[in-house]
Amino acid sequence: MFCYQCEETINNKGCTTAGACGKKGDVANLQDLLIYLMKGIAICNIEARKQGKNNEEADKFIIDNLFATITNANFDKQYFLDKIQEAIKLREKIKDDVPIDPQHDSVNWQSDNEEEIFEKSEKIGILSTENEDIRSLRWLLIYGLKGMAAYYHHAYALDKMDEDIIKFMQEGLAGTTKDLSADELVNLVMNCGEIGVKTMALLDKANTSTYGNPEITNVNIGVRSNPGILISGHDLKDLEELLKQTEGFGVDVYTHGEMLPANAYPAFKKYSHLVGNYGSSWWKQKEEFEKFNGPILLTTNCLVPPRDSYKDRVYMTGIVGFEGLKYIPDRKNGSPKDFSEIIELAKKCSPPEKIDEGEITIGFAHNATLSVADKIVEAVKTSKIKRFVVMAGCDGRRTNRQYYTDFAKALSNDTVILTAGCAKYRYNKLGLGDIDGIPRVIDAGQCNDSYSLVVIAQKLSEVFGVELNELPISYNISWYEQKAVLVLLSLLSLGVKNIMLGPTLPAFVSPNVLKILVEKFNIQPNSTVENDLPTLKIVA
């Protein structure tokens, strides 16, 4: 195996025998082979689309499989073996419908023999591209596409689709099989950022048109005395169906990790048994799931290989996979997922053990934030707010992430943090206070809600009559997995410069590609809090 798609990759070079995330070598190889086959399907479906015979099943299949290979989503060998067979069948079906000139091996290769499959999976991975820069750009693009697929998946679960996004994903995948120059690949990577903004906007529309605009909300982080179900991940439709099905059973529902922002949506707030958020970000789940005592539903990444002590209480759904855990099957013919087994188990469990108490304030997506825009503008004009710092992105388990807590603590009282994604858990319980009622941590929501931060920044630039880069906004982004790669590319496509990125730079960015990013956008690695505050023009 060779995997370097996340921030945790071993020695910041690559995981080669097993993943730091817990992914085994054979699973990593099968994921590579599945991506390879997605390229083949993309090539075929581009041709089919040209001939007016687009295969919609293929559109969704590509999205779901890109998503399933994201970090901490699916660790299940059998899942990938099955998807590889499904991929071959689907690709051959498209070829039966449309004559395809077999330009690439991914359009032709097939086998149902496990030995051959594993043999092939070792030959088509990341290192099969010899040129370091071409490899870097191809995989930067693929990782951006994985992030895009994740967001698109949630949008289409809520019936929002966009043909241009689908077409781009397939052209991007096919592009990685061609002999493109570095410049051509850089263009594709930049296009990926542009389409990334479009994808996040689509998901924002899907979420807000279905569940209403998030409202500024104080969320309980303590516990009640009923048994509970904990729901984690990013999928709001799963939460909706779980809330409906748990009503009236005396069972409480708590959010975890990236599900926290759900507490701010009007459609979920109406359920009195959605009682708050339990715990913090994904990497603390071993400790927090243990103490929760009740069943846990993982709707997307980030899953950490579970301990035996709570394993029988963990349920997965959607693209999540782990051998030995229970799985809630997908919706069929418009009927909702069936969570009755989880509810029955919850009734027999003890209530969650208290790990926090009090409240945190959330719900500052674009609509809510713009409703207090006058207040914010006034605070900027009167210098009560001197600077904003975007600290969106991911959290992670390595100790170097303490940097983000220290950074938040070091900010002066006239600096406001704009956040989205699980990165917030490094500082959202510090009690950083407010400036005339505006919290010093403005939490826009999940990582995809970074889109809200863009809308807010665009509004501020309009009000102040200056360019995005002239606003008093600094960027200190923390990344971990591939959705953050898409968010980063999206910011770059909007022309945002001087982004500081950490806690380490992506291993898949080669020195020459980094040079381009530095020359064009002045991307910079973070270092120490003391050094970075002045670099980011922040007065401590």
**Whole-angstrom distance, CA of residue 325 vs CA of residue 314:** 6
Return the residue of 227, 257, 276, 502 that touches ligand SF3, per CB under 6 A. Answer: 257
Tell me the CB-side half-sphere exposure of residue 273, using CA atoms within 13 A.
21
Decide: 49 and 100 in contact? Cβ < 8 Å. Answer: no
- Per-position x/- string for 201-240, each x denoting binding to ligand SF3 as judged by CB under 6 A, each - no binding: ---------------------------------x------
At its nearest, how many Å lie between ligand SF4 and the CB of residue 27?
A: 9
- Per-position x/- string for 72-111, each x denoting binding to ligand SF3 as judged by CB under 6 A, each - no binding: x---------------------------------------
Residue 294's binding partner, choosing from ligand SF3, ligand SF4, none, with beta-carbon cut-off 5 to 8 A by kind?
none
Binding site for ligand SF4 (CB under 6 A): 3-6, 8-9, 15, 19-21, 23, 28, 71
Decide: 230 and 278 in contact? Cβ < 8 Å. Answer: yes
List Cα–Cα distances, 105 to 96, 108, 118, 175, 411, in angstroms: 17, 5, 16, 14, 54
Residue 4's binding partner, choosing from ligand SF4, ligand SF3, none, with beta-carbon cut-off 5 to 8 A by kind?
ligand SF4
- Give φ, ψ of 389 to 5 degrees: -130, 120
Name the one residue in this structure whose structure tokens are 């005396």.
Answer: 250
Residue 5's binding partner, choosing from ligand SF3, ligand SF4, none, with beta-carbon cut-off 5 to 8 A by kind?
ligand SF4
- Per-position x/- string for 277-316, each x denoting binding to ligand SF3 as judged by CB under 6 A, each - no binding: -----x------------------xx--------------
Residue 49's binding partner, choosing from ligand SF3, ligand SF4, none, with beta-carbon cut-off 5 to 8 A by kind?
none
Decide: 214 and 261 in contact? Cβ < 8 Å. Answer: yes
# residues contacting ligand SF3 (CB under 6 A): 16
> At 250, is the secondary structure helix, strand, or coil?
coil
Q: Specify the residue, 237 or 483, whose C-beta has the smaller distance to ligand SF4.
A: 483
List Cα–Cα distances, 452 to 133, 142, 334, 448, 497, in angstroms: 33, 24, 30, 8, 18
Q: Specify the residue, 23 or 120, whose C-beta has the smaller distance to ligand SF4.
A: 23
Q: Specify the residue, 156 or 283, whose C-beta has the smaller distance to ligand SF3.
A: 283
> At 406, is the secondary structure helix, strand, or coil?
helix
Q: Which two tokens stand for residue 423?
A: 């990165």
Decide: 227 and 350 in contact? Cβ < 8 Å. Answer: yes
Q: Is 481 in the site for ligand SF3 (CB under 6 A)?
A: yes
- Give φ, ψ of 165 to 5 degrees: -70, -45
**Can you say whether the dihedral through the CA atoms of 232, 236, 242, 247 is positive or negative?**
positive
| Cβ-based neighbours of 248, under 8 Å, separated by 6 or more | none
Chain residue at closest Cβ approach to ligand SF4 = 19
Residue 422's binding partner, choosing from ligand SF3, ligand SF4, none, with beta-carbon cut-off 5 to 8 A by kind?
ligand SF3
Residue 279's binding partner, choosing from ligand SF3, ligand SF4, none, with beta-carbon cut-off 5 to 8 A by kind?
none
Q: Point out which span in 46-54, 405-413, 479-487, 495-503 binds ligand SF3 (CB under 6 A).
A: 479-487
Residues in a beta bridge with 524: 500
For the chain, the farthest-separated pair of C-alpha atoms sits apart, in whole angstroms, at: 70
Q: Is 422 in the site for ligand SF3 (CB under 6 A)?
A: yes
Residue 352's binding partner, choosing from ligand SF3, ligand SF4, none, with beta-carbon cut-off 5 to 8 A by kind?
none
Residues making contact with ligand SF3 (CB under 6 A): 72, 234, 257-258, 282, 301-302, 394, 421-422, 446-447, 480-481, 483-484
